[in-house]
Amino acid sequence: MGIFLMLKCIGSHSTLPPTEILAMAHSSVSGAQQKYSQFMNQTNESWDPEWKAEQGVPSETCFLRITKDLRTICNDPAPGICVIPDNDDLTRVYALVTGPFDTPYEGGFFLFLVKFPPEYPLRPPRVKLMTTGNGSVRFNPNLYSNGKVS
């Protein structure tokens, strides 16, 4: 329902002054905009690899599996993908993906941060697109401007 239609419906059945009705409508719209903005700018959610709330020490199984996965990628690399583990934290891996030929992404470089949870491989890694122009670029419906990958 559009804001003007909503005001007309409220206004025709209300004893409130028009200024109060406008204030209520403005508050409702502002609240919705604020919630949307918070969703799009969220950086403290479970999808975000940079979210610091995840605690726990990775198990030996986790480290062995990450090492095995990295070795597999290095021994049989996929075209256009370069994977680099963080020197200080094996559970943080950077992936540089180049845009495939004959696509709108051709010539593009897309950097992703992959964070493996302590329970890996029982829980999936979290992934964030780092190439967002400081939150100003959204490449497609599955790559959000805040870095969320869905």
6 pLDDT above the threshold of 60: no
CA 66 to chain centre: 22
Which helix (H) or strand (E) segment holds residue 8: the answer is helix 3-12
Residue 59 has a pLDDT of: 92
109 pLDDT above the threshold of 70: yes
One domain for residues 27 and 64: no
- The CATH number of residue 120's host domain is 3.10.110.10
Per-residue pLDDT, averaged over 71-81, amounts to: 92
Residue 47 has a pLDDT of: 77
One domain for residues 35 and 64: no
Other C-beta atoms closer than 10 Å to the C-beta of 98 total 15
Rounded-to-integer distance, Cα 47 and Cα 56, Å: 17
Is 50 part of any domain? no
Number of domains making up the chain = 2
Residue 137 has a pLDDT of: 83
Is 53 part of any domain? no
**Coil, helix or strand for 64?**
helix
Rounded-to-integer distance, Cα 127 and Cα 148, Å: 7
Is 125 part of any domain? yes
One domain for residues 65 and 108: yes
Rounded-to-integer distance, Cα 113 and Cα 94, Å: 5
Per-residue pLDDT, averaged over 128-145, amounts to: 87
114's CB contacts (< 8 A; 6+ apart) are 49, 92, 93, 94, 95, 125, 126, 127
Q: Which domain holds residue 70?
A: 60-129
One domain for residues 19 and 72: no
Is 91 part of any domain? yes
Is 119 part of any domain? yes
Is 104 part of any domain? yes
Strands, sheet with 81-85, edge to edge from the N-terminal-most edge strand:
81-85, 92-98, 109-115, 126-129
One domain for residues 34 and 73: no
Is 140 part of any domain? no
